Structure 1
C-alpha cells in the first residue's frame, strides 16, 4: 500500500528541519547512497523551502569571497546537531570539477522528494 499524502507532508516538514548545512568539497570520488561526507572546502546555511506535500527546495551560494586552491568536486547537504556535533548526511553528489576563485560565484539548488 502506498504511503498516504498526509504522512508524506509530515515527513517533508521534518526533512526541512534536518537540512542545515550545504558543503562544497574537494573529494572527487563517486557518490553513493552510503556516503558520509568528505573533504569540506566550505559550508553555508542553505535556504530551505517546502514546495509541496512531497518535496523541498534547498539552495545555497558561495560568493566571490570563497576562494580555494583545490578544485571543487563535490557538493553535499547534511544535518548537524549544534549541541552534540552529531551530523547526518542527507545528500551528496560528485560534480565536474571547477576552480572557485574571487572572479566567480556558484549557486546550488536541489529538490529533495519524499516518495
Structure 2
C-alpha cells in the first residue's frame, strides 16, 4: 500500500530541517547510495524551501569570495548537529569538473522528493 499524502507532507517538513550544509568537493569518484563523505573544498548554508507535499528545493551559492586551486567535482548535502558534531549524509552527486574563480558565481539547485 502506498504512503498517504498527509504523512508525506510531514516527512517533507522534517527533511527540510535535516539539510543544513552544502559542500563542494574535489573527489571525482562516482556517487552511490552508500556514499558518506566528501573531499570538501567549501561549505555553505543552503536555502531550503518546501515546494509541495512531496518535495523540497535546496540551493547553495558560491560567490566571488570562493576561489579554489582544485576543480569542483562533487556536491554533497548533509545534516550536521551543531551540539554533537554528528553528521548524516543526505545526498551526493559527482559532477563534471568546473573551475571556481573570483570572476564567477556558481549556484547549485536540487529538488529532493519523498515518494
Instruction: Using structure 2 for the length normalisation, give the TM-score.
Output: 0.99
Structure 1: 4+ residue segments shifted above 3 A: none
Distance 1:76 1:58 in 2: 11
What is the RMSD computed on CA atoms of the aligned residues?
A: 0.4
Cα deviations by residue, 1:51-90 (Å, 9 ceiling, x for unpaired): 0000000001000100001100000100000000000010
1:53 is matched with 53
Q: What does 1:61-72 correspond to in 2, within 5 Å?
A: 61-72=61-72
Q: Between Structure 1 and Structure 2, how many residues are aligned? A: 115
Instruction: Using structure 1 for the length normalisation, give the TM-score.
Output: 0.99
Shift of 1:38: 1.4
Indicate the SS of the match to 1:14.
helix
Distance 2:64 2:111 in 1: 25
Distance 1:38 1:74 in 2: 8
Q: Say whether 1:77 aligns with 2:77.
A: yes
Q: What does 1:1-115 correspond to in 2, within 5 Å?
A: 1-115=1-115
Shift of 1:3: 0.2
Shift of 1:37: 1.6
Unmatched 5+ stretches in structure 1? none
Distance 1:112 1:98 in 2: 23
Distance 1:68 1:42 in 2: 9
